């Protein structure tokens, strides 16, 4: 999640305790050599990254009985982009692993079924990397009078 994601969720929900910095459950996830912008900007020096909290059963804190309870405009960019697989350079040829394609009926295509378009997803992908880079740049700038420290 980016700091922009946090701010959008805070505005929509009024909540402030919905995320934390944690290590990935799979240590291999930190090996992002194919996407150095992600690797160098999504992770803290201790290897943690900002993620949404989970319910007791392991589901996302914002997962309800009929799906995500956040509006699309407040949903984290990485969530909006799923099931696309991507790097800073663009979309990869195949969709992200783990998407339950077996639930589709024969002849049904996933992206249209989800009501997504590649063009909108591309704008979200660019926004994600812009926010990562802006947050990283803000974190390395010394604070100046009247400018708050980056939250994080």
Model confidence over 39-83: pLDDT tens digits?
899 999 998 999 999 999 999 999 999 989 999 999 999 999 999
CA atoms of 54 and 110, how far apart (whole Å): 26
Residue 108 lies inside a defined structural domain of this protein: yes
Strand ranges (E), 15-150: 19-22, 49-52, 63-64, 67-68, 86-87, 90-91
**Burial grade of 110 (CB within 10 A; 0-12, 13-18, 19 or more):** middle
CA atoms of 89 and 80, how far apart (whole Å): 18
- Structurally, the chain folds into a number of domains equal to 1
Residue 145 lies inside a defined structural domain of this protein: no
- Per cent of the chain over pLDDT 70 is 91
Using the predicted structure, report yes or no on whether residue 152 has a pLDDT greater than 50: no
pTM, two decimals, is 0.84
Q: Which domain range does residue 51 map to? A: 3-140
């Amino acid at each position: 999640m980016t700091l922009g994601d946090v701010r959008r969720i805070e505005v929509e929900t009024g909540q402030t305790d919905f995320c934390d910095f944690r290590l990935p459950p799979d240590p291999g996830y930190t090996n992002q050599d194919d996407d150095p912008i992600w690797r160098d900007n999504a992770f803290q020096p201790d290897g943690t990254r900002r993620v949404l909290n989970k319910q007791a059963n392991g589901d996302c804190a914002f997962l309800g009985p009929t799906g995500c309870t956040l509006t699309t405009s407040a949903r984290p960019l990485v969530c909006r982009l799923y099931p696309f697989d991507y790097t800073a350079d663009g979309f990869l040829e195949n969709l992200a692993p783990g998407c339950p394609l077996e639930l589709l009926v024969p002849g049904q295509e996933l992206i249209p079924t989800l009501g997504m378009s590649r063009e909108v997803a591309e704008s979200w992908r660019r926004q994600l990397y812009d926010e990562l880079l802006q947050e990283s740049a803000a974190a390395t700038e010394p604070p100046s009078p009247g400018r708050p420290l980056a939250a994080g």
